[in-house]
């Protein structure tokens, strides 16, 4: 699918980060876009940026509020796409939505763990199930599932559990790889790709906390501050002298650094993904850090969770924050 002009793309998590940049770059190539997100305001900003870039005449960019962890909402999103774009088919499906959280089976709540897993894995599964009939009706189709380097390396550093996110991203990778044969046998005109980004400059850190508490405001409430304090204490950090505002500032600073100091921007990541889709690559590593992690884990899988493995890797790729 070298020429995207006139095609129809569906993007989950289109309000921020890589989803937003995918929308902008697809529109720039003349592709119709239907996006979903839990935030109407974020999608409105994505659409404004698409228009500011120069929206080609007649191109449709539609926004639909939907929680990808809820299959009923995904099915309503699918039906709304058909109506808004006056079509019974799509060509590109980007199962992109994701959050972090629920890192520990011991410290974090079951609700947080399952929320993260349900969005990061369930969103991919429900999205694929829902839109597969529309992909089958197209002359060509491509499913693009966002996993992570944490889909083959379950770590963001020693002493930091990351179980829900990693488990979900491993599931996304395995599902997509299994889809290769399933599609070859049953729908050979549809291709699939698994995307494995390294540290990308997005707002996932800030957004994850909002989605975990079910509140899209920027203010961190006292209950979540207390939860973060408990988590830090359980991980061995002395929090006795930290005020609630100290913790809020630490959280904001971590989110800022994650977005602004990443080695790869969301726009660069979107370009790598689209280039990979056009080349029909089923495995798309995003960022020099992702490529290096892939090499090192393959080279020394038994060492992948040793402290010195991470320290050496972080120094080599210039990480200041883990993914």
Rounded Cα distance between 101 and 103, Å, is 5
Those residues with Cβ within 8 angstroms of residue 189's Cβ, 6 or more apart along the chain or in another chain: 138, 139, 140, 141
DSSP E strand boundaries for 69-134: 92-95
| Catalytic residue flag (residue 165) | yes
Q: What is the pLDDT of residue 213?
A: 59
Q: What is the pLDDT of residue 261?
A: 76
Q: What is the pLDDT of residue 209?
A: 58
User: Could you count the other beta carbons within 10 Å of the beta carbon of residue 167?
Assistant: 19
For residue 142, the cross-strand partners are 92, 191
Q: What is the pLDDT of residue 210?
A: 59
Rounded Cα distance between 206 and 9, Å, is 27
Domains and CATH numbers, the chain: 8-202+264-312 (3.40.50.720), 213-261 (no CATH)
Residue 203 in contact with residue 260, Cβ under 8 Å? no
Those residues with Cβ within 8 angstroms of residue 284's Cβ, 6 or more apart along the chain or in another chain: 193, 194, 195, 196, 272, 273, 276, 277
Joined together, the tokens standing for residue 96 give 């992109």
Spell out the per-residue pLDDT of the chain, length 323, in tens: 889 999 999 999 999 999 999 999 999 999 999 999 999 999 999 999 999 998 888 999 999 999 999 999 999 999 999 999 999 999 999 999 999 988 999 988 999 999 999 999 999 999 999 999 999 999 999 999 999 999 999 998 888 899 999 999 999 999 999 999 999 999 999 999 999 999 998 877 666 755 665 666 677 788 777 877 777 777 678 878 888 887 777 777 776 777 677 789 999 999 999 999 999 999 999 999 999 999 999 999 999 999 999 989 988 887 764 33
HSE at residue 80, side-chain half, CA atoms within 13 A, is 17
Count of helix runs (H) and strand runs (E) in the chain:
12, 9
Q: What is the pLDDT of residue 321?
A: 43
Nearest to 112 by CA among 120, 121, 101: 101
**Predicted confidence (pLDDT) per residue in 40-75, tens digit:** 999 999 999 999 998 888 999 999 999 999 999 999
Residue 239 in contact with residue 233, Cβ under 8 Å? yes
- Residue owning tokens 């189709």: 141
Nearest to 114 by CA among 101, 126, 95: 101
Q: What is the pLDDT of residue 30?
A: 96
């Amino acid at each position: 699918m070298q020429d995207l002009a006139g095609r129809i793309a569906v993007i989950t998590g289109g309000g921020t980060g890589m989803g937003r940049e995918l929308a902008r770059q697809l529109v720039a190539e003349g592709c119709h876009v239907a996006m979903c997100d839990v935030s109407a305001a974020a999608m409105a900003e994505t659409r404004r940026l698409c228009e500011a870039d120069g929206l080609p005449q007649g191109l449709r960019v539609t926004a639909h509020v939907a929680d990808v962890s809820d299959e009923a909402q995904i099915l309503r999103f699918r039906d709304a796409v058909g109506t808004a774009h006056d079509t019974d088919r799509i060509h590109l499906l980007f199962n992109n939505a994701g959050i972090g959280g629920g890192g520990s089976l011991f410290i974090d709540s079951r609700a947080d763990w399952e929320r993260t897993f349900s969005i990061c894995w369930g969103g991919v599964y429900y999205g694929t199930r829902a839109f597969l009939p529309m992909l089958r009706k197209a002359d060509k189709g491509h499913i693009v599932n966002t996993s992570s380097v944490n889909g083959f390396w379950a770590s963001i550093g020693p002493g930091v559990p990351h179980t829900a996110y990693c488990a979900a991203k491993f599931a996304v990778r395995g599902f997509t790889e299994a889809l290769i044969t399933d599609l070859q046998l049953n729908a050979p005109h549809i291709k699939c790709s698994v995307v494995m980004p390294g540290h990308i400059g997005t707002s996932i850190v800030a957004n994850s906390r909002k989605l975990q508490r079910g509140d899209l405001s920027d203010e961190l409430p006292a209950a979540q501050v207390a939860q973060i304090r408990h988590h830090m204490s359980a991980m061995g950090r002395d929090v006795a002298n930290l005020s609630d505002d100290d913790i809020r500032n630490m959280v904001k600073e971590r989110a800022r650094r994650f977005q602004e100091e990443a080695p790869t921007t969301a726009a660069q990541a979107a370009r790598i993904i689209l280039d990979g889709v056009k080349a029909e690559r089923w495995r798309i590593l995003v960022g020099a850090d992702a490529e290096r992690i892939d090499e090192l884990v393959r080279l020394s899988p038994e060492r992948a969770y040793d402290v010195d493995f991470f320290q050496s890797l972080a120094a080599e790729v210039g990480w200041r924050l883990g993914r």
